Amino acid sequence: MTGVDEAERTVSRSPVSKLARPLRPYSDIFRIPGAWRFSAAGVIGRMPMAMFGLGTVLLIAAATGKYGVAGTVSAAGSLGYAFCSPRIARLVDARGQRRVLLPLLAVFATATAALIAAVQLGMPTWAFFVPGAIAGATMPSLGAMVRARWSVLLKNSPRLHTAFSFESVADELCFVVGPAAVTLLATEVFPASGVGVAALLCIAGTLWFAAERSTEPPPTNPRGRPPWTHRAREGSPPPRTPAPRARDGSPPLLDTPAAPRARESSLPPLDTPAAPRARDGSPPPLDTPAAPRDWGARRGAAAPGLVVLAPVYLLLGAMFVSIDLSTVSFAQHFGHKPLAGFILGTYALGSATGGLWYGSRQWRAPVENRFAIALTLTVIGVATFWAQPNLITLTCGIYLCGLTIAPTLIAGFSLLEAQAKPGRRTEAMSWLSSGISVGVAVGASAVGFIIDAHGPRVGYAFAAACGAASVATCLLGLGRLRLPTVMAER
């Protein structure tokens, strides 16, 4: 045994190496050229997702004194984001990230400036809704785009869930720092500074992200045309092109490559080898060499699991916002309202801790089982909040419950990444963010009335009910979430 081997063994047994071992998978993924740059840009660019809505409320409330109007404008932006984000993501998959992000960012910046101007000039409250909704609808969804880049760089790699774990921890960081920063800016500096700084962070991060061309996934339809021509209807056969005639002047065969057979025919061209059939005699799938293009990939849902995951994430969004508002009311009930931010910060801290631990491990259990177990444990923890006797026990319970939140979200994104149809990965993952946004908008309005009428403990009970509904939806649709064995090993 050489001295180098002895040195390596000594280092591997040292306490420092044991402490650093859980972080080694994260250092591995950031050794990929360009990885740390697009990931850092994504963190900066998506910081406004935790700042813009609250900043809008603080801006309008400071100018008008009407929290109802402020909350409605913020909700309009959230609904605009939920409606437009999947459609923009589908465009991103087809045209490319940079090509879509730059004009989208210009619209977002213009709408944000118009919203600030409308409020500062004292315009009628109805004038706030149009720029507020447009700004929310055009806020770049960098979280899905960052994960799409990781999916390409780490395709079929066991480190993909490590990358997703890091991005989920980054999301939690945004929700720890963002609300505190925007509140400080809007209350201590200038009411419009919260929204303004959020917009500047979005612009800076998005421009940096778009500049990282080397890691950008290739677009599936860069010219912006449907599968065959820009006038072709989805489902119609491709247009026939004139085939060269034979030397004797006879017309070409109908099934030569220049004149493909109609799509509904299952026979291969006569002059090409037939694709191998399955052992049971069934015809080959459409993506075999006999039929190289899968025109059905652009139809229907972006991933089969969306039928289950979209309502699950909507209910999770309603549960999260119910916990937030109930915690504020609970702290106010005990006369310590300023501590609500600290308590919710421990929630995010627990989620970040769980996400880092989850991403540092290699899992053998199928990802759909991990998702169901983590979701169930999260809801079990939430079901105890209503019975907490004081803020100290609530803080401890919220931290422990937060440990399973990031693993739940990571497993959900991993499921969709594995199930996404070709060329629709970004769209598939953006639907989860949209589901949470809709859940937050709907849940905020519902739990607000509940807290006003019955107090924070019933608000926590409503959060637990939303969580229980999400678990039931997941378990009933677990069959749609199951993946092939190779994918499940991720």
Give the Cα separation of 34 and 23 in Å (integer).
Answer: 19
**Do residues 75 and 448 touch, judged by C-beta distance below 8 A?**
no
> What's the mean pLDDT in 361-383?
90
Q: Say if residue 397's pLDDT is above 60.
A: yes
Share of the chain above pLDDT 70, in %: 77
What are the pLDDT digits (tens) for 72-81?
A: 888 888 888 8
What are the pLDDT digits (tens) for 9-52?
A: 444 454 444 545 667 788 888 889 999 999 999 999 988 887 88
Nearest-5° angle of CA 399, CA 402, CA 408? 165
Q: What is the pLDDT of residue 285?
A: 44
Which residue in the block uniquely carries the two structure tokens 């931010």?
A: 341
Phi and psi, residue 374, nearest 5°: -65, -40
What are the pLDDT digits (tens) for 201-214?
A: 999 999 999 999 99
pLDDT-based confidence at 106, cuts 50/70/90? very high
Give the Cα separation of 144 and 156 in Å (integer).
Answer: 18
Task: Count CA atoms within 13 Å of residue 203 on its CB side.
Answer: 15
Indicate whether this model's pTM tops 0.75. no
> What's the mean pLDDT in 373-381?
94
Q: What is the pLDDT of residue 5?
A: 41
Q: Which residue has the higher pLDDT, 428 or 476?
A: 476
Neighbours of 277 (CB within 10 A): 12
Give the Cα separation of 109 and 240 in Å (integer).
Answer: 45
Q: What is the pLDDT of residue 86?
A: 84
SS3 string of 169-185? HHHHHHHHHHHHHHHHH
pLDDT-based confidence at 262, cuts 50/70/90? very low
The contacts of residue 205 (CB under 8 Å, 6+ apart) are 41, 42, 43, 44, 45, 46, 47, 142
Q: Which residue has the higher pLDDT, 46 or 228?
A: 46
**Do residues 308 and 480 touch, judged by C-beta distance below 8 A?**
yes
Which of 75, 195, 183, 192 has its CA nearest to residue 129?
75
Q: What is the pLDDT of residue 149?
A: 92
Least confident of 126-130, 138-142, 281-285, 322-326: 281-285
Give the Cα separation of 132 and 124 in Å (integer).
Answer: 14
Q: What is the pLDDT of residue 486?
A: 42
Q: What is the dihedral of CA 43, 45, 47, 50, to 10 degrees?
A: -130
First to last CA, the chain: 36
Q: Which two tokens stand for residue 127?
A: 């004038």
In this structure, the chain runs to a length of: 490
State the DSSP code for 303.
Answer: S
Neighbours of 189 (CB within 10 A): 12
> What's the mean pLDDT in 245-269?
46
> What's the mean pLDDT in 289-306?
55
Q: What is the pLDDT of residue 225?
A: 55
Helices (H) and strands (E) in the chain, counts: 20, 0
Average pLDDT for the chain? 77
Share of the chain above pLDDT 90, in %: 26
Q: What is the pLDDT of residue 290?
A: 39
Q: What is the pLDDT of residue 261?
A: 43
Structural domains in the chain, CATH included, are 25-162+172-224 (1.20.1250.20), 300-490 (1.20.1250.20)
Give the Cα separation of 320 and 339 in Å (integer).
Answer: 18
What are the pLDDT digits (tens) for 51-68?
A: 888 788 888 888 888 767
3-state secondary structure of 264: coil
Q: What is the pLDDT of residue 7?
A: 38
Least confident of 251-260, 306-315, 366-375, 398-407: 251-260
Give the Cα separation of 143 and 377 in Å (integer).
Answer: 25
What are the pLDDT digits (tens) for 109-156?
A: 999 999 999 999 989 988 999 999 999 999 998 888 998 899 889 887
Task: Count CA atoms within 13 Å of residue 486 on its CB side.
Answer: 5
**Do residues 136 and 77 touch, judged by C-beta distance below 8 A?**
yes
> What's the mean pLDDT in 373-397?
93
